[in-house]
Structure 1
Amino acid sequence: MDSFFKHHVFFCLNQRDPGAERPSCANCNSQAMQEYAKKRVKQLGLAGPGQVRINKSGCLDRCEEGPTIVVYPEGIWYTYVDEADIDEIVDSHLANGKIVERLLIDR
C-alpha cells in the first residue's frame, strides 16, 4: 500500500504549564519552525499529495531530547535549533531523501 504522502512530517507544538517537570517543545519556538518548514516546502514545490505534508502535533513524548520532528513513513526523529536546521532537513531529507545524521534523535 502506497502512502498518500512521500513524507508526512509532524512538529511537536506541545505547551506545558510553567514549572512542569518535563520540557515543552513550544518553549523552543516550535510553532514558528513548523510554519517556516511549511512555507519552505511550498516555496520549493514539494507540498501536496504524493509529496510532503507538514503538520502540527501534540506531545510526541520525546520532550527531553529537544524540540522534536518525526518524518513518516520512515519514522525518522529529528531535533533542531533554528531555521538553518529546518532548511537542512527540508533540503536534504525531504527534497533528496538523505537523512541529516547530525540532527537525528535516534543515533
Structure 2
Amino acid sequence: MTDSFYKHHVFFCLNQRDPGAERPSCASCNAQAMQEYAKKRVKQLGLAGPGQVRVNKAGCLDRCEEGPVVVVYPEGTWYTYVDETDIEEIVVSHLQNGQVVERLLIDRP
C-alpha cells in the first residue's frame, strides 16, 4: 500500500460548454462514455478500491485545447484519448502494469 489512499486516482474531465463557446469541451468528445468504460474495466480487472485505483468524474481541468483529457494521480500524468482502445491501453499499461502510455501523453518529456 502506498502513502496515498489510492495507488492511482484517475480524473476524467466531463465539462460541457454551450455550443459556440470559445473553448472546446471534453464532454463533446464522448468523455462520459470513456470514463464509464475505464471504471468498468478497472473493476473487471480487480483493480478498484482503497489502495488500488479510483476512477472519478471531474469538471473542467483547464486543458481544453488538449482534450479530451484524463489525469492520473499521484503522478500527475496527463493523457488525451480518442476511443476505448486508448482508454484500454491506459488502464492496462499504466493502471495495471505501471507503464506510462507515451503516445497518449499531453506533456511529453
Q: TM-score, normalised by structure 2?
A: 0.97
SS of 1:56's equivalent?
A: strand
SS of 2:20's equivalent?
A: coil
Q: For residue 27 of structure 1, what is the amino acid of its counterpart?
A: S
Q: Cα distance, 1:11 vs. partner?
A: 0.1
1:47-66 correspondence to structure 2 within 5 Å: 47-66=48-67
- What is the aligned-residue RMSD (CA, Å)? 0.8
Q: TM-score, normalised by structure 1?
A: 0.99
Q: What's 1:39 paired with? A: 40
SS of 1:92's equivalent?
A: helix
Q: What's 2:107 paired with? A: 106
Give the Cα separation in 2 of the matches to 1:43 and 1:93.
16
Identity of aligned residues (%): 86
Q: What's 1:24 paired with? A: 25
Q: Cα distance, 1:66 vs. partner?
A: 1.8
Number of aligned residues: 107
Q: For residue 13 of structure 1, what is the amino acid of its counterpart?
A: L
Q: Cα distance, 1:52 vs. partner?
A: 0.2
Q: Structure 1 segments of 4 or more deviating over 4 A?
A: none
